[in-house]
Structure 1
Amino acid sequence: MRIMAFDYGTKRIGLAVTDPMQIIATALGTVHPEEVWDYLTKYMQTESVETFVVGKPLQLDGTASESAQHVVGFVRKLKKTYPSISVVEIDERFTSKMASAAIALSGKKKSKRQEKGLVDTISATIILQTYLESK
């Protein structure tokens, strides 16, 4: 059974998933928030997921950020749509900065490093990797 992570944004949702043994986090890409439910329906037809991990946007002081309300709605719908799959929220405060740094270190051109979809995908992977390391 896999673990799937989400870096929720109002324009894009970054997605990452583990291998069935839950050892390696791999980027899946991004989907528009309106398309995420169709994407999940198709994905779940061929793969088993036991846990959803959702990045929780917090301010530096640990309070909820402005975008947190969107994540609350997303988590609520995840739990309602997939009641048998546990949902875990983890702090995502520095994932975008870490993702940008990882992309920079990969040697990609600056135009590629600034591509928001790539940052969101890598952020979801970092969220998932963080969760795996905490288990």
Structure 2
Amino acid sequence: MARILAFDYGTKRIGIAVTDPLQIIATGLDTIHPKDAIEYIKKYLLNESVEAFVLGDPKQMDGTPSESKQHAKGFATLLKKAFPAIPLHWVDERFTSKMAQQAIMQSGLKKMDRRDKDRVDTIAATIILQYFMETNRL
């Protein structure tokens, strides 16, 4: 089996998570700058097989697209253009950043480590990926 990559897209940072080859466990992989994303993924694909991308779908509380949706759609377009053979799935990302912050708070990390926004983005991507895996099990 191939892995699945998930992205928590932001204009300053993209959190990335990945499954194991059997697609059982979602793990935080990295946080990168959006301008480096396509090159990062190309390098990743040199060593790993990826069967799908999952992208957090930014929505308002009422389910309508948030202001950041246009940026996420732009990133989705770049992914589709650079990797046309890899399907892209959208997952509602409401509350993922809050859930990530709560997970960090409960982890026992020192106060300065809890403020690390890269960590929040990577954990949010992991939550997005875990949700996708749970809702798409055969």
Smaller-chain TM-score bracket: over 0.9
Instruction: Note the C-alpha offset of 1:119.
Output: 0.2
In structure 2, list runs of 5 or more residues that go unmatched.
none
Cα-to-partner distance string for 1:11-56 (whole Å, 9 max, x where unaligned): 0000000001000001011000011111011000010100000001
Q: Distance in 2 between matches of 1:4 and 1:111?
A: 28
Aligned: 1:97 with 2:126: no
In the alignment, residue 24 of structure 1 is paired with which amino acid?
Answer: I
Percent of paired sites with the same residue: 60
In the alignment, residue 112 of structure 2 is paired with which amino acid?
Answer: S
Secondary structure in 2 matching 1:83: coil
CA RMSD after TM alignment = 0.6
TM-score by length of 1: 0.98
Instruction: Note the C-alpha offset of 1:79.
Output: 1.0
Q: Distance in 2 between matches of 1:102 and 1:16?
A: 16
Q: Distance in 1 between matches of 2:64 and 2:108?
A: 35
- Show the counterpart of 1:69: 70
Secondary structure in 2 matching 1:55: strand
Aligned: 1:87 with 2:88: yes
Alignment of 1:1-135 (within 5 A): 1-135=2-136
In the alignment, residue 79 of structure 1 is paired with which amino acid?
Answer: K
TM-score by length of 2: 0.96
The structure 1 segments of at least 4 consecutive aligned residues displaced by more than 2 Å after TM superposition are: none
In structure 1, list runs of 5 or more residues that go unmatched.
none
The answer (yes or no) to whether the contact 2:38–2:82 under 8 Å persists in 1 is no
Q: Distance in 2 between matches of 1:130 and 1:110?
A: 28
Instruction: Note the C-alpha offset of 1:80.
Output: 1.4
Q: Number of matched residues? A: 135
In the alignment, residue 29 of structure 2 is paired with which amino acid?
Answer: L
Secondary structure in 1 matching 2:77: helix
